Amino acid sequence: MTTHKSQLRYTLVALLLCLAATPVLAHDHSDEISEEEANAPVDAILWIHMFLQATVWGFLFPIGMVLGLSRSKLHIPLQSTGFALTIGGYFLGHMHGGRKFLKSAHGTFANIVMVFIALQLTVGIYLKLHIHERSVRPYAVVLHGIVGRVYPIIGWTQMLFGAIAYMGYCRGGHLGQCLAHYIMGSGFIAYAIIMSIMLLVGERWLRRKGRSPEFYDSLIITLWGIVNTFTEHRGNTWSVKDMQHTILGVLWWTGGMLGLFLSRNGQRNVIPALIVIITGWAFGGHAQALMFSTMVHTMFGYTLAVAGITRIIEVCFIAHKDTTPSPWEEDVNDTTPRQTPSSGISPLRAFRYLPPFFLVAGGLLFMSATDEETKYVHGTGMDHVTYILIMFSIAFFVYTFILCLIHLYPNSGRIAANRSTTNGDAIEMHPAANGRPKWYAPVPTSSGGPEEERHVIGDDDD
């Protein structure tokens, strides 16, 4: 009871701070500022604001979300601390001196963020009261979970808006290409996260759903292609890039439909990877005004192509040969002999880390290749090699954090407790009788027969 009271106190304090910050958030930036105000130095308060918000939304809230999914007791204290720090950061963001900023999406989205914070806090307090157990509470639990899962997306979006506002990018005629680069680049990173989850800890879930990973890949590609087909062209004149981007949308939904067809009955296929390769080739060949920008786009194309190639290798040559359980889902009490020590990683399984990493790197490279960014960096005297190496360094850092979050889920809260008390049944991957995970069906070949066809999800009798 004492623990519940403490947790409720955390959320109440955070909610009061959220409400107290409302008058501050009513302040907005001006439509017009002088050149002197725009070029003024950034003061310490604004630097603290940026560091604080990046820490909370980039690290604390994603960790707290995972702890919530694993039902950890640390979830409420961590999220409540994040809420309080966020409110403090909002105050600092409107109290700084020095440089002034024009009205931007960053300031507007801040008000939307406050709505999500207030909603999550209110629902969280309601859940801690444990009332209306059979009527309202089940719906409140679902709402709380949905909003919590959206937090990383909200944080990523607001941090991007903040960086754009700080640099003064994406205004006037630059808005369209900014949206294309940031949305597409973020999409590749999101794709990498989903792929990492499916390949590392999602095997049992995929088996239960009766789908292969490529089904979900193809579905996303198809839907994205349909949207892209009808949103890339504006006005009456078709430019070269309009035609390229529009036909890429057509490529995605036509290729995605083929991938969906080949994914029936849980079969794996290489169509999504092939689409990624073609997309990399197309973007890598985009004509650019600066040679610096051309080289960055070319490297992005190469990186995306490598992501697709490694995925094809994983599907065709790695998946059906790997018989070792995933170390992320391994049962801590299982003494069955392994092909590799329980503390190690199968060389075959280790290969699966490559496709998601190259997707993360490709996404960051594409986000860093807008006209304004490349022009600014080129003006500083930095060469494209250094710039690309910086992006790959950031990619290693981001991918490490992604893997840490994935690793945290089965090793925290009730999930970790269930693994130790139920022989790992909470998230354990159940292989087929011959030791091969059933959803890892090899790509059908001319020599494949009924024996191969039995190793698909649809035939799971567990």
- Tell me the pLDDT tens digit for each residue of 338-396: 444 344 456 667 888 999 999 999 999 999 999 999 999 999 999 999 999 999 999 99
Are residue 144 and residue 70 in the same domain, yes or no?
Answer: yes
pLDDT at 30: 56
- In the prediction, which pLDDT does 458 show? 35
Rounded Cα gap, residues 13 and 148, in angstroms: 19
Same domain? For 86 and 189 the reply is no
With a pLDDT cut of 70, the percent of the chain lying above it is: 75
More confidently predicted of 429 and 131: 131
Among 139, 168, 197, where does a domain finish?
168
Q: What angle do CA 78, 196, 405 make, to 5 degrees?
A: 15
Q: How far apart are CA 64 and CA 109, in angstroms?
A: 22
Q: Which tokens sit at 203?
A: 């095997």
Domain extent at residue 437: 175-334+341-462
Decide if pLDDT at 423 tops 70: no
Residue where one domain finishes, among candidates 153, 168, 183: 168
Question: What is the phi/psi pair of residue 30, to 5°?
Answer: -85, 155
Alpha carbon separation from 442 to 217, 221, 319, 354 (Å, rounded):
17, 22, 7, 19
Is the pLDDT at 218 greater than 90, yes or no?
yes
pLDDT for 445 beyond 50: no
If asked whether residues 88 and 185 sit together in one domain, one would say no
Domain boundary among 142, 168, 194: 168
- pLDDT tens-digit readout, 140-172: 999 999 999 999 999 999 999 999 999 889 988
- Compute the average pLDDT of residues 426-441: 41
Same domain for 156 and 52, yes or no, is: yes
Our CA angle for 313, 317, 318, nearest 5°, is: 90
Instruction: Quote the Cα angle for 368-374-377, to 5°.
Output: 105
Token pair belonging to 299: 């490297």
Confidence at residue 382, expressed as pLDDT on a 0 to 100 scale: 96
Question: Quick one: tokens of 424?
Answer: 């790992």
pLDDT score at 420: 63
pLDDT, tens digit, for every residue of 58-115? 999 999 999 999 999 999 999 989 999 998 888 888 788 878 888 889 989 988 998 8
Q: Is residue 59 domain-shared with residue 27, that is, in the same domain?
A: yes
Most confident of 21-25, 75-79, 323-327: 75-79
The average pLDDT across 43-71 equals: 92
- Give the Cα separation of 35 and 7 in Å (integer): 48
Give the best-scoring range by mean pLDDT among 36-40, 89-93, 115-119, 307-311. 307-311
| Domain total of the chain | 2
Please indicate whether residue 431 or residue 241 has the higher confidence score (pLDDT).
Answer: 241
- Whole-model pTM? 0.81
Q: Distance (Å, rounded) from C-alpha 86 to C-alpha 56?
A: 7
64 plus 123 within the same structural domain: yes
Tokens of 184: 């597409």
Query: CB-hemisphere CA count at 13 Å for 358?
Result: 22
Residues 202 and 147 in one domain: no
Stretch 440-462: mean pLDDT:
40
Q: Are 286 and 143 within one domain?
A: no
Is residue 325 pLDDT above 60, yes or no? no
Q: Are residues 393 and 330 in the same domain?
A: yes
